[in-house]
Chains A and B, each alone.
Chain A
Amino acid sequence: MATTVLPRATTYPRSRVYEWLTTTDHKKIGLMYVASSYFFMCLGGLLALGIRTQLAVPNDTLIPNALYNQLFTMHGTTMIFFFVMPMLAGFANYAMPLMIGAADMAFPRINALSFWIIPVSGVLLFSGFAFGGAASAGWTSYAPLAEAKYSGIGQDLWILALLLNGMSSILGAINMLVTIFKLRAPGMTMLRLPIFVWTVLVTAILLVFAVPVLASGLVMLFIDRNYGGSFFDPAAGGDAILWQNVFWFFGHPEVYIMILPAFGIISEVIPVFSRKPLFGYKAFVLATVSIGVLGFGVWAHHMFATGAVYLPFFSAATFLISVPTGVKMFNWVATMWRGKLRFTTSMLFAVGFLISFLIGGLDGAFAASTPVDFDITDTYWIVSHLHYVLFGGSAMAIMAATYYWFPKMLGRMLDERLGKIHFTLMFVGLQLTFFPMHLLGMAGMPRRIAEYAPSAWQPLNVVATFGAFMIAASMLPFLWNMFAALRRPADAPDDPWDANTLEWATSSPPPPYNFERLPEVRSERPLFDLKHPELRKAATPAAIVVSPGSGH
């Protein structure tokens, strides 16, 4: 038999572009998620500047009503579905497999598909501007206003874009679940998962249960609009409130989808920069799971003023969900207590998160109380509350995560001085923009109005507009910081923050398939255990010590 000598396989010179377009590496996909989310954040931010510019002057005619309605509809939709959700999915995509010691996600090609759906659906959503007007019925698209009688083709594009976007979320969520359940490193038991991974896990479960409900609502609305259905049209025997029930059954878990991974980020950042373990790890897991469960029982608190919901149940459930959230707040503070705090930009954003999210959380007690909610719902008070949760909460955590993981993801340190300028401008801008809105709401200013008569509302609106431009300005040093870092040669060490979790146990950025060797996993801080063998006994949590004689 003749011997065939095969030529040695050589690597084909492939273009960078081709490599990124076809990659199934969770790290590259994670980076693309993050980059596209920052792009959409800037876009959504510009829409917000339009809104704030209009409201700085009473009876302003700068922006016609039709365009104004598109601005706030597209702002909300963009920030929720194209900034916060994919951004958190991006960080989860990048960090979660590394944190559990996996080589990649469970389904790498589905992972690539979930990402590529996002820009496509984004183009679909924004194409409304080119076809006679984007969606303009609010990000909640209440029927019958979103029906064909009252809204144009932009609404159909909105429905299709969100259906696609939801598909991406469901695929991503299933991928995360399988990865967490099946690909953990040896020794990485469920109660040794980093808290960020726990929050990703609960978020993925919320997505799997909530997003299909939104999809069903979207399909019904699409049938109403295009094929003569009448699910939500009372004039033809439908029910306008049905849309709200369906939408918020998705919409409130959605709030936790956007905040739980943010909690996870904060729960990684604060322990590292306090040089202490997270205070009350198990309480944290329990609080995360109970928020996930209770999150499905509070949707109708968005509908107290409709007169169509059983008030006591949803009021009680809403009050109750503040308890596990409060536990987390105290645990974070206790983590910092008696630590050695290092105020890197990432830690500053984490503290900024604590300060701002507390306000958003306390606001919840007002909204949970039905008689108070009758007044504040649909006013600027609610706009303030939701931005304290989503900007003061999610976006601040996203910033903390960016400064925290940037060296790992791109192999370069970000400049701390520029980072601090970014934080100062953004934190002060955030308070100036959103705090006055509480007071405007108390004075009776409804949300989503394109103009208001000259009144005492103006000064606070000017403050809010000033704050919004400050937030916009804060993005300049931030974007420059990232740009400048990428032009420098790679300089980041493997573990620049003296961190605890496995992603810092490999090079920065990690090689394809992540690890050459893994440290032993005996707690939720495997890297810490490796660096401090002397503390091994003390650092081993009671979780794995089975006390003799207990009935296990």
Chain B
Amino acid sequence: MRRATTWTRSLLPLAVLALVVSACAQATASNPVPGFFPLPAITDQGQSSENLYVFILAIATAIFLLVEGLILFAVLRYRRRKGDDQLPTQTHGSMPFELAWTIVPFIIVVALFTLSYQTQEQVDAAVPNPPLTVDVTGFQWQWTFDYKAQGLSFTGQGTDGPVMVLPVGEDVHFRLHSNDVIHSFYLPAFFFKKDVVPGRTNEFDLTLDQTGTYAGQCAEFCGLGHADMRFTVQAVSQADFNAWVTKEQEAAKATPSPLPSGAQSLTLSASNTTAFDESTLTAAAGQPFAVVFTNNEPTGGPPHDFAIKDPAGSSNMLFTGQPLAQAGQTVTYDVPALPAGTYTFICIVHPNMTGTLTVK
């Protein structure tokens, strides 16, 4: 048994070392190195939850050290010595000990539950008449943020997604909507997430108290583009927020620059999830053009859209049509000028639907 013992001895420090090394890192907002502690939360609610987390971590660490310590002690102290064939005392149990390790953990979990319940009431508390409401819509695979009272709407483009600007110091009410599958609105700096469930509007309130720019992304697996469903939250002072609202409202009022007159307009439609109705399109090189896209699916059918793949071969899109065309809808996508060449167009909802776009 000598080999076994030396062998056990050499392994244990290694395991302990691994734990200690990984414990050293701590995450901060400016330097998000993964560690045992979360990013410092930027909301009142998130800070309460993080305090609870740290408390549970302390208790769990104490229990971890106690029990692993007992295991290691037993392993090292009570290993059989060479040539010792005597039977150890046959202990079948001990009522006092067994009661102790039933009752003490019971008290601990009741205490943890009580604390957790109190924090949950705080985190879940609804605010009457919140000064700002943001409607979040998740869809495959992008976000739309609507500030309805302010008349503003932002839909993300590309893999960075949209930016949500929020004021610090006042309550913000969130409403989450989905029209396709389940998504989850997750911002690590909130120490919070809530699922975005079709057929159900989830609501919650948060109070931000720290300015800065924070990354978030979809946390509920939602299909091919799940990893690219990102967004950014920018927390600003109330004055900056008001200025931003005014600026965006004016920008929205200005008429969008129309396509140059005489720009080409291509027609495309889809009636099923297997293929587009047209498999080839032709456009002029170096000129912006429009794609008038009709989703001919019956009511309740799936959404489709028009996107152009990057010919370099990566999974990125050169152009992604926004918003998706819902069943029965016609959407016009303004496509920027492209150099001559052959491109693949695709429905990002149904990547098996492709066609060839010739630009010459």
Contacts and interface: CB of A to CB of B under 8 A. Distances in A.
Interface string A32-59: 0000000000000000000000000000
A286 B51 CA distance: 35
B194 A277 contact: no
A297 interface: no
A416 to B, nearest CB: 8
Nearest to B100: A330
A434 B91 CA distance: 36
Contacts of A124: none
A241 interface: yes
B277 to A, nearest CB: 19
A70 B22 CA distance: 31
B199 A234 contact: yes
A514 interface: no
Contacts, number: 321
A365 B60 contact: yes
Interface in B174-227: 179-182, 184, 186, 188, 191-195, 197-200, 202, 204, 215, 217-227
A69 interface: yes
A378 interface: yes
Contacts of B222: 145
B36 to A, nearest CB: 7
Interface string A372-383: 101101110000
A457 interface: yes
Nearest to A463: B22
Interface of B: 1, 3-5, 7-8, 11, 14-15, 18-19, 22, 25, 27, 31-39, 46, 48-49, 52-53, 56-57, 59-60, 63-64, 67-68, 70-71, 74-75, 78-80, 84, 86-94, 97-98, 101-102, 105-106, 109-110, 112-113, 116-117, 119-120, 123-124, 140, 179-182, 184, 186, 188, 191-195, 197-200, 202, 204, 215, 217-228, 273, 300-302, 314-315, 351
Contact count band on A: 35 or more
B4 A343 contact: yes
B112 A319 contact: yes
A109 B200 CA distance: 49
Nearest to A147: B181
Given A145-B221, A277-B90, A451-B227, A443 B74 contact: no
Given A431-B18, A439-B34, A456-B31, A539 B194 contact: no
Interface stretch (A192-200, A310-318, A502-510): A310-318
A282 B113 contact: no
A8 interface: no
B34 A371 contact: no
Interface string A315-352: 11001101100110111011011111111100010010
Most buried by A among B32, B87, B117, B204: B87
Given A340-B88, A450-B227, A280 B93 contact: yes
B200 A240 contact: yes
Given A69-B223, A307-B195, A442-B27, A149 B117 contact: no
19 contacts: A65-B224, A149-B273, A234-B197, A238-B199, A241-B200, A279-B94, A283-B102, A307-B197, A307-B200, A327-B105, A340-B87, A341-B74, A369-B116, A370-B116, A371-B49, A371-B52, A375-B188, A420-B3, A420-B7
A544 interface: no
A455 interface: yes
Contacts of A370: 116-117, 120, 123
Contact of B75 (A336, A446, A451): A336
Interface string A343-367: 1100010010011001100100110
B18 A432 contact: yes
B289 to A, nearest CB: 29
Most buried by A among B27, B198, B228: B198
Given A150-B181, A234-B200, 16 more contacts: A145-B221, A235-B198, A238-B199, A240-B197, A315-B116, A330-B97, A338-B78, A355-B68, A355-B71, A371-B116, A372-B116, A379-B186, A436-B34, A438-B36, A442-B36, A443-B35
B234 to A, nearest CB: 17
Most buried by B among A306, A316, A452: A306
B88 A338 contact: yes
A144 interface: yes
Given A235-B198, A443-B35, A319 B15 contact: no
Nearest to A467: B18
Contact of B101 (A65, A138, A330, A450): A330
Contacts of B186: 378-379, 444, 446
Most buried by B among A277, A331, A348, A372: A372
Main secondary structure of the interface of B (DSSP, over half): mixed
Contacts of A69: 221, 223-224
Interface of A: 61, 64-66, 69, 137-138, 142, 144-145, 149-150, 234-236, 238-241, 274-277, 279-283, 305-308, 311-312, 315-316, 319-320, 322-323, 326-327, 329-331, 333-334, 336-344, 348, 351, 354-355, 358-359, 362, 365-366, 368-372, 374-375, 377-379, 417, 420, 424, 427-428, 431-432, 435-436, 438-440, 442-452, 455-457, 460, 532, 535, 538-539, 541-542
Contacts of B119: 369, 371
B59 A365 contact: yes
A545 to B, nearest CB: 12
A323 B106 contact: yes
